[in-house]
Chains A and B, each alone.
Chain A
Amino acid sequence: MTAIPPTGRTLPSAEGGPAGPGDGPRRGRLGRASFDSVSFFVVFLGVPLVLFLVFVIWPFVQAAFYALTDWSGFSAEFNVVGLDNFAALVQDPRFVNAVGNSVMFGIFIPFFTIAIALVFAILITVGGSGRGQVRGVRGSGFYRVVSLFPYVIPGIAVGIMWRLIFDPSNGLVNGVLTWLGLDRFESFAWLGNVGTAMPVTMFVVVWGFVGFYMLLFIAAIKGVPSETYEAARIDGAGRVRMSWSITLPLIRDNVQTAYIYIGIIALDLFVYVQALNPQGGPDNSTLVMSQQLFRTAFTEGKFGYASAMGVAMAIVTLLFAALVFTVNRLAGGRDDRGRR
């Protein structure tokens, strides 16, 4: 506040300027709206709000409305059919199967991504030598850069690349396995067997995201004062004990946020499954909601029904977020014992 010119202090606030610090009671700010304060709100609140309403909320409203119609998507005509689409949805074995697959992805992808990212983040920040200053393993700077590489590659490229790597006849994986003498992997279709297609898909997605979430956790761990670790070390805590009892509770909020982010990605997953198994995988075992939605809209020409699927997807995603919050709270997330 030293920058305030002396003349400014001499003007009475009643002349229209917003109250400066110490210029009487706080509620005076709301009472007297000057051009400056109004323009401030318009630019920093109004414009973003308008953009949000037009480009986020309005499409949501539209989709919710079309979910109640039989719109084909290719003409301007439709009839409102009420909740018929939703009634059909719960009885549609294809969509129920897709929801099941999406839920499997939603459970396992966040879990493995976060578990692996956490382990790496801990190794890189506090997993190093047990003597002297708390630090990461040797060469941690190098690992930190390298592990971000997969995240830089676009999802579709990741999918296509891994599809070639898992190619039964010419792929790298089977090439290595048969070279090692495992003959049963000659022409083994990793993406074509019910037992392996989903795990392989999960692996590819996890591979793509671990680096980014590792960086996120590194930043969070860097925020933990090193005295805490030093104190724990003096008390005789090993690396595992420190990770479990110090690191994890202190970055709990970051883990929760990451869990919800990856969960949303895993419940969508369109790009990855479309690249790896565009036809839905063996016995539709990797068909996800977004793929079924796309098919219904553009191949079958049922945009109303597809919109209903979109609404259902949004509900599943919200339920997932609510579940993560609840689990975190039940596990003591709002309990302040472990917090700074």
Chain B
Amino acid sequence: MTSNFTTPPSNPTSPPTRRSVLRAVMYTAAAVPLGLPLAACATGGGSNEGEESASPTGNADPKNPFGMTENTTVDAVIFDGGYGVDYVEFAGEVLAGLHAGSSVKVSPSTQIATELQPRFVGGNPPDLVDNSGAQSIGFNTILDQLEDLTDVIDAPNVEGTTIRDTLYEGVLAPGTYGDKFAALNYVLTVYGVWYSASLFEQNGWTPPTTWEEAKALGAEAKEAGKYLFLWGTEAATYYQTLAIESAIKEGGDEVRLALENLEADCWSNDALQATFTIMKEIVDLGYFKPGGSGTQFTAAQAQWSNKQEALLYPSGSWIENEMKDQTAPDFQMKGVPSFSVTSGAAMAPTALHSTAGEPFIVPSQAKSVAGGKELLRVMLSKESATNFSKTKLAPTIVKDIVPADGFGSTALVSQTDMLSAAGGDIFTFNFVNTYGMNPEQLPIWNSFLDGKKSVEDLTSELQAITDRIREDDTIEKIEVS
């Protein structure tokens, strides 16, 4: 049959249909190189088209303060992490009830940056994004493409109260970059050291408040055949967070500001060195469960929450929800504020590291900016916030939501207790996330907790990262005061 190609058609007046097929193919092939390059070019489709005016013009309808047009489908991309996405879906249903015809499409994602990068470049980002998780977009890269969310805070909530009046103090700070309130951090996170109240009660232990007490508890744990701490390889820097918290409580604000502003020798500060030194003692005494540097972090956390091989675990308050399915029955998770170093610390032992997390952003180029803001407004209503705390066992930035029984969660009660005990002594720090240092710090902390690094090594290597970023002019610095 191959001979067909070498044989001229026997009747040239009626060409076979094969020709017309081939001709069509040929035309298509000729058209491809003309059409595709522009479409294939990542930055080719610029944002030259005129945008719709995003801000509402004097429409002060308290039921629709941002002037969301009718029959809008709000496009929300939500980080599918420890808190899932169903709380946004819940708010979406509430929104659909408030505005007949409109609805919310929630798309879960664990890879925010990779998934949304082409949409930001192409000028069609979603209306609302929960920019969270390990693959979140660095804020300094997209800041000028985000809406200022101050008008959301100043709008009345679904119940009619101005939203600003319903929030905890200081929760807007983490989402404020310069003078732009670009991200609304929805979940209130409390950092501390977590333990099983039932286990402690059985053994007559009390949770430590200073590092010396922690060391003493480590000896008792060893007698009971347990470890004081354990860690997982992707979460080794939880101990860095703990160390920084202790140092800030010991040395006060100057420790925090030196770290935040990437100062020279900021890691050599006395308070930090004292914390590192006693941590090193605990490492050398063998109170850390070995092998953490090769253990996947949730597997390691399960060794604490389920097998109870270690007594304490430093983490944020997401830990209860994260380990929900892998926690021993009657664990009774509770937390204490990070330990003080000495009794002469600058801050009270009740001082607490707490901040708002899960940053929600509304891109200015979104199809329905008003829809994104409206969904945020609904999420900040009493109904949605209560739903979140009840199902996720974590407080939102909306205050007076969690009842005294904490919806049956000891950890949630313990968080509200810690928050009220701390009063005004609440601090936070952002430099690790602002400059994306965590990936570089992880290997250093893994080696330190493994016992392979001295305090001097730890200090100089952490300082090297800080110094490199400070000296790199291409990285935009954010002054913290």
Measuring CB to CB, which residues of chain A are less than 8 angstroms from any residue of chain B?
A: 1, 3-5, 7-8, 11, 15-18, 20-21, 34-36, 39-40, 42-43, 46-47, 50, 53-54, 58-59, 62, 66, 70-76, 78, 88, 94, 163, 166-170, 186-194, 277-284, 295, 298-302
Given A192-B446, A299-B113, decide whether A75 and B142 contact each other with a Cβ distance below 8 A: yes
Given A280-B442, A281-B443, decide whether A1 and B291 contact each other with a Cβ distance below 8 A: no
Minimum CB distance partner of A69 in chain B:
B43
A8:B7 contact, CB within 8 angstroms: yes
A8:B8 contact, CB within 8 angstroms: yes
* Bound form: Cα–Cα A278–B294 in Å: 11
Q: Is residue B6 contacting chain A, with contact meaning CB distance below 8 A?
A: yes
Q: Could you tell me which residues of chain B, from 287 to 315, have a CB within 8 Å of some CB in chain A?
A: 289-296, 299, 303
Q: Is residue B120 contacting chain A, with contact meaning CB distance below 8 A?
A: yes
When distances are taken between beta carbons in the complex, the residues of chain A under 8 Å from B40 are: 54, 58-59, 62
Given A15-B8, A35-B19, A167-B299, decide whether A192 and B294 contact each other with a Cβ distance below 8 A: yes
A40:B5 contact, CB within 8 angstroms: yes
B5:A36 contact, CB within 8 angstroms: yes
A17:B22 contact, CB within 8 angstroms: no
Q: Could you tell me which residues of chain B, from 25 to 52, have a CB within 8 Å of some CB in chain A?
A: 25-26, 29, 32-33, 36-37, 40-43, 45-47
* Bound form: Cα–Cα A248–B474 in Å: 53
* Bound form: Cα–Cα A36–B8 in Å: 8
When distances are taken between beta carbons in the complex, the residues of chain B under 8 Å from A194 are: 447, 452
Instruction: Give the shortest distance, in Å, between A208 (CB) and chain B (any CB).
Output: 20
* Bound form: Cα–Cα A168–B114 in Å: 32
B233:A192 contact, CB within 8 angstroms: yes
**B120: contacting residue among A1, A21, A75, A188, CB under 8 A:** A75
15 contacts between A and B (CB under 8 A): A39-B19, A78-B43, A88-B474, A94-B440, A163-B296, A166-B294, A188-B290, A192-B294, A192-B446, A192-B450, A194-B447, A298-B135, A299-B113, A299-B436, A301-B140
B234:A279 contact, CB within 8 angstroms: yes
B37:A54 contact, CB within 8 angstroms: yes
A301:B25 contact, CB within 8 angstroms: no
A71:B138 contact, CB within 8 angstroms: no
Q: Could you tell me which residues of chain B, from 64 to 118, have a CB within 8 Å of some CB in chain A?
A: 113-114, 117
When distances are taken between beta carbons in the complex, the residues of chain A under 8 Å from B444 are: 283
Instruction: Give the shortest distance, in Å, between B228 (CB) and chain A (any CB).
Output: 15
Given A192-B450, A279-B234, decide whether A74 and B120 contact each other with a Cβ distance below 8 A: yes
Given A4-B7, A43-B22, A169-B295, decide whether A76 and B121 contact each other with a Cβ distance below 8 A: yes
* Bound form: Cα–Cα A1–B3 in Å: 7
Instruction: Give the shortest distance, in Å, between A140 (CB) and chain B (any CB).
Output: 37
